[in-house]
Copies of this chain bind each other. A is one copy, B any other.
């Protein structure tokens, strides 16, 4: 339950979000339609427009829900894990769980679609990355204090690299249908950040 709320689907709005989320994560924002979602949920297109006025509004709701769920997962890590290195591993595991459902990170996918997104969605995607960066920078600083992690530069910059590496590893691994490829990169990354004899 690192990513709670996905199993849900009692009401139509949740079902719409569930289906649309999967379609965006696998096909991208410009390769899914109201028709696709409606058919899969078992309603008609106007029913979708009742719940989400347009594709922009649906997209905004998608990012908002995903970001909230991710934020909750980060808080869950903070609440249940002490060591910074373990927090980092748990963070990478969040990505891995997404990939093992054959999905790209929602915001990673939307980053690819960025130039075609409505403004509100753009801002929401950037905010998602900002929050991840802030959380990661905190974990890195904790690890440096503990002496369990090392940073060869400012913690925010290392945090940016971690996000980029995990998003990129997901992106590429999906073309190989090989989640092991992601796991390998995540392990390399964690090994690099673990306190070796560096700085």
Residue numbers of A with Cβ under 8 A of B are 26-28, 30-31, 104, 108-109, 111-116, 122, 125-126, 129, 152-153, 157-158, 160-161, 163-176, 181, 184-185, 187-189, 191-192, 196-198
Inter-chain CA distance A153–B181, complex, in Å, is: 14
Contact flag A176-B126 (CB < 8 Å), given A185-B164, A188-B157: yes
Contact assessment for B171 and A161 in the assembled complex, using a CB-CB cutoff below 8 Å: no
- Total copies of this chain within the assembly: 2
Of the listed residues A157, A176, A188, the one surrounded by the most CB atoms of chain B closer than 10 A to its CB is A188
With contacts A160-B181, A185-B161 known, is A175 near B114, CB below 8 A? yes
- A197: nearest chain-B partner, CB-CB: B197
Known contacts A129-B172, A153-B191: A109-B112 contact under CB 8 Å:
yes
Query: Taking CB as reference atom, which chain B residue is nearest A153?
Result: B188
A111:B181 contact, CB within 8 angstroms: no
| Docked-complex contact A26 and B163, CB < 8 angstroms | no
Is A157 a contact partner of B175 (Cβ separation < 8 A)? no
Q: How far is the CA of A132 from the CA of B57 in the complex (A)?
A: 39
Contact across chains for A116 and B27 when beta carbons are under 8 A apart? yes
A128 CB, nearest partner CB in chain B, Å: 9
